[in-house]
Amino acid sequence: MAALGKVWLVGAGPGDPELISVRGLELLRAADVVLYDALAHPALRSVCRQDAELRDVGKRFGQPSSIQLEINAELVALARAGKCVVRLKGGDPLLFARGAEEALALVGAGVEFEIVPAVSSPVGAATYAGIPLTHRELSSSVTFITGSDREGKPWSPDSWKKLATATDTICVLMGMRRIDAIAAAIVEGGRAATTPVAVIQWGARPEQRVVVGTLADIAGRVREAGLANPAVIVVGEVVSLRDTLAWYEKKPLFSKRLLVPRPSGQAERTAKAIRARGGDPIVLPLIAIEPPPDVAALERAASSVRDYDCVLFTSENGVERFFAVLRRLGHDARAFGNARLGVIGPRTADALRRYGLEPDVVAEEHVGEGLARDILAGGVPRRVLLARALVARDALPNTLRAAGAAVDVVAAYETKPVRDAEARLRELVETRSIEAILLSSSSTIEAVVERLGPRAPELLAELTVASIGPVTTRTAERLGVRVDVAATTYTVDGLLDALERHYVG
């Protein structure tokens, strides 16, 4: 008989995946099975183990969802099968989220559980809309209430009339179907028709939309704007502060949908940086990082790395793959001996530091020519090892050889196309579902053009094409693709800085 498992009821937060708790993130990374709601941000699923089972149970008002009793039974069955289960719920698990019902079912079945709280959706949505729910001069009380009723219970305007003057700020969840009736009942209960109201759709996400009005006109304004669930209605004088305190929508990349075609591990880091700037990253890896065809050559280089007086890396991938082989051979950072270490870019430098090595040279210009120039400024090395991609430019080794250095080039990895991404790429580009595409390397634009075929230049001309640096830009232009934005600092942050300047104008 399998050992009894355990269930964690985890709040995902209101929208922005960065708002999940540290504890919640740890549990997602360790879970055997994750049952997630539709309102939990999809990016949170990317942190789960590759072998974890992910189950969509819906739980979106008005949309097809699993029956709650079925979810309860599934949690019990999984725990009894010895699984570590995360029930990932949008917002906080105990605030209008039926987490208490699930917990009671687990208690009844004798299943161990824990509850991990989170930022609730009305608090998070209001904060991202620039609306404080309380304010010393405007509101000393706040009430959270659901606009939908328990099955079989008729809707009663009387309860809304009583609430009208009993509290300063009213937050209504799931109330969009009855927004006319709710507003009218609050006015009839004694609240002024001129009381400010905000409706926040998709709060704390790049899709966030906010409509502001009064109790008298908010329903009409919402209909005119086409807002629907998921949305939070905030009633009270605190809404008047939004014009001054709104901050999220002022980010230069707010609501911009940006395609990130990088390999999956790097794409997630880029996506996080985009979300921090208010953008909406669409992660679609078009290339994958794979071992080189001649692994034996890489192993020989790693085994004899001490024999070189200069070792160079041109990418984070090169560092990671080289050290993976080095560890497999039973070596560590000490294997480099007294070799000078040179890298291109801060990311590559950070990758070396993770293994306890400080680079001697970080190229000021983040291209091969720049690294060669900086290395030669310290004298011509006798013997150089360059660990890089299988296919790469030869400017770096050729410049060093021309100066008299003996250079051994070893492929630490190769990039291969991700074949099943073609249909999704075409759909995104042809339907204009993205506004910009981020080119972080020559291999990314080559992959994009290969998938789109002969019409690639024409299709991409309808988007903003952003390049990380001159090498990538030249590759794009060689393929007939116009580059609209070019980074002046050849890093992902530099690329996003350039894109912000482009949109700000």
Task: Give the count of beta carbons closer than 10 Å to the beta carbon of residue 47.
Answer: 15
Strand duo 310-313 + 287-290: pairing: unpaired
Q: In what order do the strands lie in the sheet with 142-146?
A: 142-146, 169-173, 231-235, 196-201, 209-214
Distances (CA, A) of 57 to 43, 63, 88, 410: 17, 11, 10, 48
Task: Please state, in angstroms and rounded to a whole number, the distance separating the CA atoms of residues 79 and 57.
Answer: 17
How many helices (DSSP H) and strands (DSSP E) are in the chain?
A: 19, 21
| CA–CA separation, 495 and 489 (whole Å) | 7
The secondary structure of the chain in percent helix, strand, coil, rounded to multiples of 5, reads 40, 20, 35
Closest CA to 164 of 144, 188, 141, 181: 188
Q: CA 5, CA 451: separation in Å to the nearest integer?
A: 45
Neighbouring CB atoms inside 10 A of 364's CB total 9
Active-site residue, 37 included: yes
- From the list 59, 83, 89, 256, the catalytic residue is 59
- Count the residues in the chain: 505
Q: How far is CA 157 from the centre of its chain?
A: 42
What are the E-state strand segments in 292-434? 310-313, 340-344, 361-363, 383-389, 406-417
Structure tokens at 505: 């104008």
The backbone torsions φ and ψ at residue 385, rounded to the nearest 5 degrees and listed phi first, read -110, 125
On whether the CB atoms of residues 341 and 357 are closer than 8 A, the answer is yes
E strands along 12-111, which residues?
33-36, 53-56, 84-89
- The first and second tokens of residue 340, run together, are 């000078």
Q: Is 59 a catalytic residue?
A: yes
Distances (CA, A) of 429 to 150, 274, 453: 44, 19, 12
Residue among 286, 285, 287, 260 at smallest CA distance from 271? 260
Residue at token pair 């104008």: 505
54 close to 244: Cβ distance less than 8 angstroms: no
Exactly one of 16, 37, 92, 168 is catalytic; name it.
37
Q: CB-side exposure of 144: number of CA atoms within 13 Å?
A: 13
d(CA 148, CA 155): 8
| DSSP one-letter code for 455 | G
**Dmax (CA) of the chain:** 89
If DSSP states are collapsed to H, E and C, what string results for 201-233? ECCCCCCCEEEEEECCCHHHHHHHHCCCCCEEE
Catalytic residues: 37, 59
